[in-house]
Amino acid sequence: MLEIIRIPVLSDNYVWLVHEPQSKETMVVDPAVAGPVLAEADARGWKITQIWNTHWHPDHTGGNAEIKEATGCHITGPQAEKDRIPTLDRLVKEGDQVRLGSVVADVIDVPAHTAGHIAFHAADEKVVFVGDTLFAMGCGRLFEGTAAQMFDNMQRLSKLPGDTQVYCAHEYTQANGEYALVAEPDNQALKERMDSVLAARAKGEATVPTTIALEAATNPFMRAVSAEQLADRRTAKDNF
């Protein structure tokens, strides 16, 4: 049902423009900037009614104020980061739900990259917006949390249905894959995936969204067997 449009901005960010055709509601996930988002919505004849923020970082919230001023949209984001996102209208946490027209998404607490990071899982649509928690073959840096928290995030996300589409916020896949091959050099699924990624990037094509099943097979952070192993892999990736 949902129409989801990828808008590349800055050097490697993706903003997701999400349209629910029955209600004609349109939502933006993590707008780093406003201009390209407003232009894309206008070109499609869509009126932005909501913004969903996963965390406070400026490359996820920088467009909030301008989009809100232009459209009067309603902004939802993590309760735990309310002091760092002054444009929020609704504060949400684990157990809350958000709606875009008839589509309902559950809020999941996924702290580690930031202390209050959340994700939005629309089960009926088989979609999850994960911000900077889960990437294609990677995970977010541990800026405000612990490896134990990120390990728990990976375990929880891995339990979503395998065909769930994972919408992350950056084009990091090639760099993540280069490290993943070092972490798991005998992973044949990973080698095959990297061949596809390199071919796509050579043509300038995006490599996300991904799926939970693909990450379970090839992501060294989701595949970590303990918080300690995830911590070791995160440190190695940070210095890779």
Task: Return the active site residues.
Answer: 55, 57, 59-60, 113, 132, 170
Residues 86/75, Cβ–Cβ less than 8 Å: no
The answer to whether 61 and 40 have CB atoms below 8 angstroms apart is no
Q: Are 201 and 174 in contact (CB under 8 A)?
A: yes
Angle of CA points 28, 74, 160, to nearest 5°? 50
According to the 3-state scheme, what is the secondary structure of the chain?
CCEEEEEEECCCEEEEEEEECCCCEEEEECCCCCHHHHHHHHHHCCCEEEEECCCCCHHHHCCHHHHHHHHCCEEEEEHHHHHHCCCCCEEECCCCEEEECCEEEEEEECCCCCCCCEEEEEHHHCEEEEECCEECCEECCCCCCCHHHHHHHHHHHHCCCCCCEEEECECCHHHHHHHHHHHCCCCHHHHHHHHHHHHHHHCCCCCCCEEHHHHHHHCCCCCCCCHHHHHHHHHHHHCC
